[in-house]
Amino acid sequence: MKNWHGHVLLTITLSCLIWASGCGQGGADSNTIKVGEYASLHGSEADFGQSSHKGTALAIEQINAAGGVLGKKIDLITEDNLSKPGESATIVKKFITRDHVVAVLGEVASGRSLEAGPICQQYKIPMISPSSTNPKVTEVGDYIFRICFTDPFQGKLLADFAKDTLKAKRVAILSDVAAPYSVGLSQYFREPFVAAGGEIVADQKYSSHDKDFKAQLTAIKAANPDAICVPGYYTEAGLIVLQARQLGISVPLFGGDGWEGQSLIDTAGDALTNTFYSTHFSPIKDTPEVQKFVKAYQAKYNGETPDAMAALGYDSALVLADALKRAGTTESSKLRDAIATTDIVGATGRTKIDEHRNAPKAAVIITVENRKFKFLKDVQP
Amino acid sequence: MTEFLQQIVNGLSLGAIYALIALGYTMVYGVLRFINFAHSEVFMVGAFSGYYLARLFPHQTIATGLIILAGSMCICAVLGVLIEKLAYRPLRNRSTLTVLITAIGVSLLLQNAGQAVFGPDPKAYPSIFPQKNISLPHGLIISSNQIVVLIVTVVLLWALRHIVMKTSIGTAMRALSFNPVAASLVGINNDFVISFTFALGSALAAAGGILYALNYPSIDPLMGTLPGLKAFVAAVLGGIGNLPGAALGAFIIGLIETFVGGSHWSTYKDAIVFSILILILLFKPAGLLGKMETEKV
């Protein structure tokens, strides 16, 4: 009897192995085109990863429903980096060497795009970042693209906004030294603001995952600024706004696209009155592309309204599909050239890749009223 | 001047939370002579217990706040006893190094279990006590949460001192920390006293977790690591094994962290706190209030 069991086990194991190896071989020349997506689906920037992934998944579903590209369906492989440093590089290496993806999509946070970029460049696999704004991301090499604006543009528009709309002459900065995004954006805000006659009255720092900002905010309060610039991510920005109001700081606080996430409102709630941030997209614009995207997104995700990360995630897949069609092949250098000449209109408006592999776009400024995000105005590049 | 006083208020309320955690480290060290690194995860579980208990009470009053606080302290007391029973007791007669490594293992286990059970995303913490900002003269502002933190900490410190100095179980704890063999010879049930110590320390950590989350309302399963390490530094600064020392060390660390955080060196506030640990170990290895023990050979 024992022997018989052994035979069954051996047979099952062997057939599993054969089946698995069959699948492995099938990947290279099967009926799908593999695309890797790495995203922060959990952890401190989970709102970014979730939104971006939902947008990308929606676009891939629509593309496949319309017959796919090059006669094949796109197979989106998504992996979670838990918002942790170090994971993205491992994931992208696995995408390229084991899954043999034709292109990589990701990430939102510039720090993690900067981790994966050099690996994609090394293997010459095109990478499209939907929403990393730090200029260094695409400077990694000619295979790295982005489809959003960059921080020098965002910093300039925040400086103009602080000066013209908020009428602020004295601004304090509270930035995250552990995030390349925040370090970059605070610098790109400071330069045009000071050049236009503004004054930085306090320059305080924190590190990602800090929770106590009262020390820095008390020092900022003593400097008596007209407004406070917080160029960080929403997890910390929410706590900063809350603690600022607890310390009796009533001046406006503002930041960049890192603020975009429902968790900002969940954490800070009513303290967000008189706060502002710039981002890539607003769902209430009434261009046909925006409305088509918003309707499809709400239909797929139980009426949830898409944010900027969702729209850029969606557009990143559209850009890739369009480039695959124009290249007529999945061969990496031809695909790269096709992405470099992208000029399409998607949910976030026109995406035209420039010679630095960036896509200059309009920005929007959002404010928060009664625990809801509210569109304030457009800013053209 | 206002800024200076405001920073003192901020520093004291941060130090009060560190004090509650540091006491757990120091008590366990007192009776077992090892550092329970899983303590910072008990702190995290305390915050999460409060998060889930708060859902039972849609309207927050001071009374429901205290019920949530007491409930979480009970949950964590049970958790502390379980950790000791399952992980440390079987290794009681092994070398301290074995237990220390086990403590790190338990800490990682709880962190990852927390990520699996509670989910790894930061959660917004409900306001368990009614909130209000109180303006004092000179433009000083103190939030009701900071007052709650200070009151709860002072009450718990007083209760702990009463238990350790005035009750028979406290006398047994002190006896055990002097000499475990002699303690058992005079009829003390060492296992029970050790369990009790873990329960007490873990309950204080739970209170610390809830108070931390009240002041900084975003919690995640890895939230315990940094406050736990700083509380450990505080316990060493005050003299590990010494209860008033742990509280003193915690207030010093809280104040230093706040003053460095509000200065031009805000980038280096954690680095400075941990440099203090190194300096103490170099120049005053027994800590501020600790006494040097000569090793018997």
CA triplet B133, B270, B239: central angle to 5 degrees? 95
Three-state secondary structure call for residue A64 = helix
Does B6 contact A82 at a Cβ distance shorter than 8 Å?
no
Best CATH choice for the domain A30-149+286-361 from the list 3.20.10.10, 3.40.50.2300, 3.90.120.10, 2.30.40.10: 3.40.50.2300
Q: Is the pLDDT of residue A157 over 60?
A: yes
Handedness of CA A155, A160, A161, A163 (dihedral sign): positive
Chain-chain contact of A222 with B259 (C-beta, under 8 angstroms): no
ipTM: 0.84
Q: Of B270, B238, B276, whose CA–CA distance to B257 is shortest?
A: B270
If you search the block for the tokens 């194991």, which residue do you land on? A13
**End-to-end CA gap in chain B:** 55
Locate the domains of chain B by residue range: 19-224
Burial class (CB in 10 A: 0-12, 13-18, 19+), B58: exposed
- DSSP run (H or E) holding B85: none
Residue type, B192: F
Q: Are A234 and A260 in contact (CB under 8 A)?
A: yes
Of B121, B257, B266, Cβ closest to residue A46: B121
Identify the band that residue A139 occupies on the pLDDT scale cut at 50, 70 and 90: very high
- A152-279, superfamily in CATH? Response regulator (3.40.50.2300)
pLDDT at A24 over 70: no
Say how far apart CA A254 and CA A367 lie, in whole Å.
Answer: 9
Task: With CA atoms as reference, report the closest residue to A381 among A189, A194, A154.
Answer: A154
Give the Cα separation of B171 and B166 in Å (integer).
7
Residue carrying the six token digits 């000179």: B138
Q: A–B: how many Cβ contacts below 8 A?
A: 92
At residue A25, does pLDDT exceed 90? Answer: no
State how beta strands A349-352 and A343-346 pair: antiparallel
Beta strands in B76-166 (DSSP E): 123-124, 133-136, 140-143
Instruction: Look at chain A and count its residues.
Output: 381
Residue A27 has pLDDT above 70, yes or no: no
pLDDT digits 0-9 by tens, A51-72: 999 999 999 999 999 999 999 9
Flag whether residue B262 sits within 8 Å of chain A, measured between CB atoms: yes
The Cα A228–Cα A226 span in angstroms is 7
Look-up of token digits 């990694």: A140
Q: Give the whole-angstrom CA distance, residue A269 versus residue A267.
A: 6
CA distance A168 to B30: 56
pLDDT at A313: 96
Q: Which residues of B touch A243 (CB under 8 A)?
A: 216
Contact A212 B226 (CB under 8 A): no
> How many angstroms separate the CA atoms of B193 and B92, rounded?
14
How close is the nearest chain A Cα to the Cα of B211, in Å? 13
- Whether residue A205 and residue B259 make contact (CB cut-off 8 A), yes or no, is no
| Pairwise CB contact (< 8 Å): A215 & B260 | yes
A247 close contact with B: CB closer than 8 A: yes
Map out the domains of chain A as residue ranges. Answer: 30-149+286-361, 152-279
Please tell me the distance from the alpha carbon of residue A51 to that of residue B2, in angstroms, as a whole number: 43
Residue A275 · residue A308 · CB < 8 Å = no
Do the domains A30-149+286-361 and A152-279 sit in the same CATH topology, yes or no? yes
How many CA within 13 A on the CB side of residue A157? Answer: 25
What DSSP designation does B267 have?
A: G
3-state helix, strand, coil in chain A (%, to 5): 50, 20, 30
- Of the candidates A242, A278, A287, the one whose C-alpha atom is nearest the C-alpha of residue A365 is A278
Find the mean pLDDT for residues B168-178: 91
Each residue of B74-110: pLDDT tens digit?
999 999 999 999 999 999 888 888 998 999 999 999 9
> Scanning every residue of chain B, which has its alpha carbon at the shortest distance from the alpha carbon of A178?
B267
Average pLDDT along chain A: 90
Contact B229, B253 (CB under 8 A): no
Closest CA to A335 of A35, A30, A97: A35
SS3 A79: strand
Q: Which residues contact A350 (CB under 8 A, 6 or more apart)?
A: A343, A344, A361
Q: In whole angstroms, give the CA distance from residue B44 to residue B37.
A: 13
CB < 8 Å to B14, chain A: 212, 214
The pTM of this model reads 0.85
Indicate the Cα dihedral angle B12, B17, B21, B22, nearest 10°: 0
A291-319 pLDDT, tens per residue?
899 999 999 999 999 999 999 999 999 99
**Per-residue pLDDT tens over the stretch A201-243:** 999 999 988 899 999 999 999 999 999 999 999 999 999 999 9
pLDDT of res. A65: 94
H or E stretch at B186: none
Query: Would you place residue A23 in the very low, low, confident or very high pLDDT band (cuts 50, 70, 90)?
Result: very low
Number of Cβ atoms within 10 Å of the Cβ of A139: 13
**Contact between A184 and A110 (Cβ < 8 Å):** yes
